[in-house]
Amino acid sequence: MTKPVAIISLCLTLGWVTAWPASGSTNCEGIPGPAHFSLYKNRQATFNSVVDADYKQKYEVEWFVGSKSLGSVTKNGNESFVLEGSSLSSLAFSVTGFHQNDNQWSVSHHKIFPDPDGGIQIRFEDAACDNSFDTSPDLKVIIDIK
């Protein structure tokens, strides 16, 4: 007797959630957290950034050999950074974008795009979920590998 009651209760709950979804849910595109890349031996990566937001943006580059972190740097939006290649081995690196809201830094969502000049673009958006990766990303980091 309890099995049918549980099934009916489950069906009613699923119907309620489908008919009236939570008002706080949003459809955010992009991936929260860092974007990961590899840098072949003796190659150099240059990071240039562009900000199109009314609040502070920054990005962090961290580089690794295997799983061992060799260093990191944090740059404000519109600042550049050069990561020298390693003559000993290939490097992996990650790029994480951040946005400031009410004096609190939060990790941004990202998508990766090809750059028209042959590099890679990582476009970052805040948590507003306006999904403007194509039209006006809040922070864009352009990576040129030489």
Residues contacting residue 30 through CB under 8 Å, at least 6 positions apart: 109, 110, 111, 124, 125, 131, 133
User: Cα–Cα distance between 146 and 133 in angstroms, integer?
Assistant: 26
Q: Taking the alpha carbons of 106, 112, 113, 119 in that order, is the dihedral positive or negative?
A: positive
At residue 73, φ and ψ (nearest 5 deg) are -145, 145
What does the angle CA 87 – CA 78 – CA 74 come to, to the nearest 5 degrees?
Answer: 50
- As a CATH number, domain 31-145 is 2.60.120.400
pTM of the model: 0.78
pLDDT tens, residue by residue, 106-121: 999 999 999 999 999 9
pLDDT tens, residue by residue, 86-100: 887 889 999 999 999
Could you tell me the residue ranges of all domains in the chain? 31-145
